[in-house]
Homo-oligomer: A and B are copies of this chain.
């Protein structure tokens, strides 16, 4: 029941079953799911819309606010899993591949404390 004991496949299966029990794959085209994911991402942003960057860090200390944010993150994750299901994408492989590319684009020693990629000279 926690992230250290739950595989990606476990969560994918929860979403897959929910969708199939409602015959919702007819709505779950990749186009629609990508829109849905973006809509939920915007709802997540609403929690941080008017507050400062520093204040957004203090949300971590407020259990009620963390719970609210957690619900929106779960909605984003739900559509992300549904999209991975529709396109049969292995998320663990995709994430690892991306992190390898990111490590090449942002070498640790050159990227410490700067968010833009180092210029090659």
Contacts and interface: CB of A to CB of B under 8 A. Distances in A.
B59 A32 contact: no
Interface string A45-65: 111111111101101100000
A32 B50 contact: yes
B74 A97 contact: yes
In the assembly, how many copies of this chain are there?
4
> A-side binding surface: helix, strand, loop or mixed?
helix
Interface residues of A, number: 85
Contacts of A22: 106, 108, 111-113
A96 B14 contact: yes
A57 B73 CA distance: 25
Contacts of A45: 34-35, 38-39
